[in-house]
Structure 1
Amino acid sequence: MIQMLITGLICGALLGFVMQRGRFCLTGGFRDMFIAKDNRMFYALLIAICVQSIGVFTLIQLGIIDFTAGNFAWLGVIFGSFVFGIGIVLAGGCATGTWYRAGEGLLGSWIALFAYMVMAAVMKTGVLAPLNTEISSITLPENSIAATFGISNWIFIIALLLITGGLVYRELRKPKIAIPSLKPKRTGLSHLLFEKRWHPFVTAILVGLIALLAWPLSAATGRMFGLGITTPSANILQYLVIGDAAFINWGVFLVLGIFIGSFIAAKGSKEFRFRMPDKKTGINSFIGGLLMGFGASLAGGCSIGNGLVMTSMMTWQGWIGLLFIILGTWTAAYFVYVRPQKKRASQSTTSQQAV
């Protein structure tokens, strides 16, 4: 228990700190791909996937960890990921983003986090557990992409590395927009950690390394997986309600560590403050949290569990799940942001013509 507590909290705190300071928000990144045609955060995610994938398959070859892709619950992954993508737009952050923004004092994220935990628990051990089990039982026999084609995982890893390298190279060659910078108020390490703007690609490398670190640390406690957010979040509520210590695992301390790390980063950078959402935002956050918990449970993972971890393991679950999370995000972004803007612009034009 002590080992689980210490390593889980440390790994989670590192992740929360890095994500908060680097503003590693996949919700905003997926949304900006559609609205602003800005792909930088998606490229950053690819970098993190590459770093983790190279590291994890190296550990597997060394016999340090073990991994079996299992079956591919295609229906749950497709439908659940799409619903999850809609939910993260309404909630204002994905599962991990909700944890670290809660650590910043954003009360809307607290609302979304509570709804997310409740729905995830309901889906896993509550009244919707039979539905979850039924949909998840609809599977295809092979989840590993490499096994499907009968070739080595390293072929896909090298291909992903080359594609990602090309995209990043092209992005870095784009002309930089000059942004006036304020005179630093700090020096040395304090300036670097709490004041300097972190580049998303540097942040992605750190996220990938932390995701890699999670595998051996988690495996040492008997949990053979990397980063995971949905099940541990549900486990916290299940433990508080039922009191069964079996719900306490390495993942629980990981998500609690994300909150702690984000709080430390926000306090150190003077970005922590309690912010109360308006009525509409609060309602959207709650609904978004419910959709997140429902979708992630069906899909067997969230934007981290599927979008970062299972993609790095070269599974159909990971890559198809990531695709439908993005499609769900774009769908919600259209109705939440694009369509209202078009409506306001149309009304404004009509008013001017009337004058």
Structure 2
Amino acid sequence: MTTSSFAAPAPDAGPRPSAPTDGPPVATAPNSLAVTTGLVIVVLGSVYLATNHGAKQAVLFALGIGLGVALFHARFGFTSAWRQLVSVGQGRGLRAHTVLLGTTAALFAVVLATGAGFGGVSPQPSVDPIGVGTMVGALLFGIGMQLGGGCASGVLYHVGSGQSAIVITLASFVVGSFAGTWRIDFWHETLPTFGSYSLAEDLGYGGALAVTLLVLAAIAGASILVERRRTPPPVAPVPTARGLARIVRGSWPMWVGGVVLAALSALVLMTKGSAWGVTSAFALWGAKIAQALGMHPETWSYWQDPGNAADLNGSLLDHATTLNDLGIIVGAGLAAAVGGQFVVQRRIPWRIVVAGLLGGFLMGYGARLSFGCNIGAYLAGIASFSLSGWVWAVVALVGTWVGLRARRRLGLATPRPGDGVC
């Protein structure tokens, strides 16, 4: 990838527009220095965590590495899937979502019904309340991810694979997440709320899973009908290796990525007791930085919650979501290096800087209001059979429509199907 890839849209990929070719482009040689660096970080990081913070922390870091590898190899996009559906009617990415959501829901149903956890962990579902504040948050997140060029998980694996522009989005994401913790009581206590609802409470996990799978199948079918009516541009695969080497040096089919991510999500649930999330770590990083600068976020209601207070007073390397996030960055970097696609960009157009700053802040702030992001609110919510996950998805899809128009106001072209990754 070259610096020119940032001249129009922020990076956000999937399959590229098709051109005459005899087959998929061939992956280039591995980046030896980046591969070596990545392996050293993996080994030393795992040993340090296991020795000083316990085996559980090392496992969480390892699971994050696996998530990063899968996200990169499958080019698994949340931002791009919704953008392509809204802009040109391309439903391939959305159908990959249904595979991820359905497989994760099936695994969660087993784990939650049996209480299966490692080391005495008792897994809990992600069932969040629905209210005006949470819907405002989902809307802001949907707008922000189109401006910033990635979702929460996508920002992390883009950073890991060397895409410098996304570092700007990540920094602003952290600021926005921290800002969202201020006066959080206004959004969740002063504004109207409608409570929470779980399908599993009324139908049991078997019944809830059956309903969820039927809805996902209907969504997949609807996406096919949309494609037939709008005839989106054809797409072609990204660079990949041949044969078995494709597993470590190529692009995976998106459905394979969905299945692998679902399995890893279930292992995260069994290891830490709650579903995979991303953005609570960003809020914590921001609070730690704020304390170092002389601020006192510990006086805010969000940080007086016993769990959040314990995180703020503890080590970042004891924070499960932080370890997952760091692992995603490392795993994506290693996967990109092995595939010969780790390239650091040095020139970033000013419009991309502005869009990244604005989009990152909106995503961070929105994620705090809506109890999570495309992972913690959308994936975990739907897989936990919570109505909140579906509401988040619908509102964030509206935000996608608004965000695409905001891109044009900033003079940024709407990315074509396949331009970028997340």
Interval containing the TM-score (normalised by the shorter chain): 0.7 to 0.9
Q: State yes or no: 1:7 paired with 2:69.
A: no
> 2:351 and 2:238 mapped to 1: Cα distance?
35
Match of 2:321 among 232, 251, 259: 251
Residue identity in the other structure for 1:211: S
Following superposition of structure 1 onto structure 2, how do residues 218-237 of structure 1 map, counting pairs within 5 Å? 218-219=272-273, 225-237=274-286
Residue identity in the other structure for 1:252: T
Contact 1:69 1:144 in 2 (8 A): no
Q: State yes or no: 1:96 paired with 2:165.
A: no
> 1:230 and 1:183 mapped to 2: Cα distance?
30
Contact 1:229 1:302 in 2 (8 A): yes
Contact 2:102 2:213 in 1 (8 A): yes
How far residue 337 of structure 1 moved from its aligned partner, in angstroms, is: 4.6
Which residue number in structure 1 is paired with residue 402 of structure 2? 331
Which residue number in structure 1 is paired with residue 300 of structure 2? none
Which residue number in structure 1 is paired with residue 377 of structure 2? 306
Q: Pick which of 233-242 and 30-39 moved more.
A: 233-242
Q: State yes or no: 1:135 paired with 2:203.
A: no
Residue identity in the other structure for 1:231: S
Residue identity in the other structure for 1:288: G
Which residue number in structure 2 is paired with residue 272 of structure 1? 342
Match of 2:249 among 189, 194, 199: 194
Contact 2:131 2:195 in 1 (8 A): no
Which residue number in structure 1 is paired with residue 206 of structure 2? 154
Q: Structure 1 residues 61, 264: closer, same or farther in 2, change over 3 A?
A: same
What RMSD in Å do the two structures reach over aligned CA positions?
A: 3.0
Residue identity in the other structure for 1:253: L
Following superposition of structure 1 onto structure 2, how do residues 1-355 of structure 1 map, counting pairs within 5 Å? 1-64=53-116, 65-67=122-124, 72-124=129-181, 129-130=182-183, 132-137=184-189, 138-147=192-201, 150-165=202-217, 189-195=244-250, 197-219=251-273, 225-242=274-291, 244-245=313-314, 247=316, 248-275=318-345, 276-337=347-408
Query: What do residues 151-202 of structure 1 show as CA deviations (whole Å, max 9, x unaligned)?
Result: 334323213324545665896xx99x99888997x5554333212x321111
Q: Structure 1 residues 287, 161: closer, same or farther in 2, change over 3 A?
A: same
Contact 2:112 2:125 in 1 (8 A): no
Contact 2:70 2:257 in 1 (8 A): yes
> 2:360 and 2:105 mapped to 1: Cα distance?
29
Contact 1:14 1:210 in 2 (8 A): yes
> 1:260 and 1:308 mapped to 2: Cα distance?
22
Give the gaps of 5 or more residues in structure 2: 1-52, 117-121, 293-312, 414-422
How far residue 133 of structure 1 moved from its aligned partner, in angstroms, is: 1.8
Residue aligned with 1:25, SS: coil
Q: Structure 1 residues 69, 19: closer, same or farther in 2, change over 3 A?
A: closer
> 1:183 and 1:101 mapped to 2: Cα distance?
16
How far residue 241 of structure 1 moved from its aligned partner, in angstroms, is: 4.9
Q: Give aligned-pair identity as a percent.
A: 20
Contact 2:128 2:381 in 1 (8 A): no
Q: Number of residue pairs matched?
A: 327
Give the TM-score of the pair, scaled to structure 2.
Answer: 0.70
Give the gaps of 5 or more residues in structure 1: 220-224, 343-355
Query: What do residues 38-79 of structure 1 show as CA deviations (whole Å, max 9, x unaligned)?
Result: 111111112111111111121122122342566613112211
Residue identity in the other structure for 1:194: R
Residue aligned with 1:265, SS: helix
> 1:205 and 1:24 mapped to 2: Cα distance?
11
> 2:103 and 2:97 mapped to 1: Cα distance?
10
More helix by share: 1
Query: What do residues 213-249 of structure 1 show as CA deviations (whole Å, max 9, x unaligned)?
Result: 1101112xxxxx1111110122233335547425541
Residue aligned with 1:152, SS: helix
